[in-house]
Amino acid sequence: MPIDEHITIVDSGKELRQKLLSAIQKHLDAPDPRIRSLVRIEVPIFSMDPLVWLGMQSDSERMYWRGRHADDRVAMFGVAKVMSGDSRPEYPDLAREVDDFLERPGADLRLYGGMRFDLDRNADHDWYGFPAWRFVLPRFEMHQRGKHTLLCCNLVLPEDYAVRDALIQQVQELCFPDSGQEKVQQQEKKSPQVPKPVSRVDNPGFEGWKAQVNWSLDAFHRDLVDKVVLARRVDFSFQQAPDPVSLLHILEDATPNCFHFLFTSQEGVFLGATPERLFFRRGREVTSEAVAGTRPRGETSDDDQAYMASLLDSEKDQREHAFVRERIRDVLGGLCDSVSVDENATEMRLAQGRHLVSRVSGRLREGVTDFHLLEQLPPTPAVGGVPTEIALEAIHSLEDFDRGWYAGPVGWIGRDSAEFAVALRCGVVRGSQLSLFSGAGLVQGSDPGSEWIEIEQKITDFTKIIGLEIRTAD
């Protein structure tokens, strides 16, 4: 809750800590175990890039979220509440637990987190530290909306009475520029730096990739499967460990019109910039998107128009896209009173590429929760295939790595709304290694070389900021 709607904007780190401490102590110094509520303390502060602030905090438990078109950025640090599990959740039980928590009297707060692509597969070493699913109420948030910036602290009562002293210590350890807004502006002018990698390893290499695509083409010919989405992992090693927040900072500037996210585990940091929405819900109204079919951007205006026309006119890409649209329509049709579907795919234009996109919207039936959507929508044919179960079996058989949270849902759940994206164009930073993940939808008519280049173009958002060109199929 706001301390005072008319408070003067705080312009120094010392004063920020004092304001937070004063408000926290007001709530916690007279414990009442009968109080069961959610409290949000908000302090209006000088304008500051949330990612600059996030980069100043310790490595433990940092998160970040920015919606695709929203002028709304949230950098988060620390944990006030966590819900997680190492296997497929019991969705009705999880929905009740989340609802019971968020419906406490008081502030309307959000839980941020995500899930594995395959909840039935155990994590391998690439994803140790990332549970099957995890949702967190952050302790501290720097929330920037338009020209306004708030420093927030979330309290959970009565639980936080028991951690009063530790919470006060956390506030005292929060980092800020020493001299307020002037210092911030000087710091934000400094461009984040990313070291150059010293090696690259492709999994699979092109010969292995060609064998996987040819296996898929044979499966299509024998009517075993209609579509399968196969992924590649590219590992970059560095002499100096790259800073994940600096990576995301540069990535955010280079990838407008995307969802940007960062989640921390005990073993690494998962971050990315994805164009694909899984669903957005406000009240009972829900919207999802079918995104499939890819072309690059052109070097010239004429080239760009030619690529757009090629995508819109491509029978193969339209067929691949239709699989995704029909599956999402079927899922929402089973959860909604009514469903509306774009009849024709249009272009989603990005900084480095373009996709076909169709929107599917509906009005959820009474009793349908966000966890019904999280249980039934993923994996869509945009990241799995058709039929789903057979495509997943092919992915398990052919891919020599764990997808982990790649291609899984990431986002947030609130009291009256929720938003999740599909975690694409993403990577994991573990020490001095950055692992990037990206995939291509294969259907009858796919070509190994073309699909390799498509994936290279998708990871270009990352490779360009570390000074690398795409690797051709040879």
Centre a 10 Å sphere on the Cβ of residue 223 and count the other Cβ atoms it contains. 7
179: its two tokens? 């001299």
- 3-class SS at 72? strand
Catalytic residue among 227, 375, 451, 454: 227
| Element spanning 412, H or E | strand 409-413
Q: What angle do CA 369, 370, 372 make, to 5 degrees?
A: 70
C-alpha span between 342 and 357 (Å, rounded): 9
| Element spanning 93, H or E | helix 91-102
Catalytic residue among 42, 276, 289, 454: 276
C-alpha span between 110 and 382 (Å, rounded): 27
C-alpha span between 446 and 348 (Å, rounded): 21
**Is the distance from CB of 271 to CB of 421 less than 8 angstroms?**
no
**Is the distance from CB of 214 to CB of 448 less than 8 angstroms?**
yes
Is the sign of the CA dihedral 201, 456, 261, 245 positive or negative? positive
Is the sign of the CA dihedral 37, 41, 69, 135 positive or negative? negative
Does the annotation count 190 as an active-site position?
Answer: no
Q: Which residue has the tokens 């994996």?
A: 379
Does the annotation count 276 as an active-site position?
Answer: yes
C-alpha span between 208 and 425 (Å, rounded): 22
**Is the distance from CB of 206 to CB of 444 less than 8 angstroms?**
no
DSSP classification of residue 445 = T
C-alpha span between 185 and 34 (Å, rounded): 45
C-alpha span between 251 and 253 (Å, rounded): 5
Give per-residue burial for 177-205: e unless 16+ CB within 10 Å, then b: beebeebbeeebeeebebeebeeeebebe
Q: What angle do CA 371, 375, 376 make, to 5 degrees?
A: 120
Dihedral (C-alpha) 244, 249, 254, 260: value to the nearest 10 degrees?
Answer: 80
C-alpha span between 201 and 214 (Å, rounded): 22
Catalytic residues: 227, 276
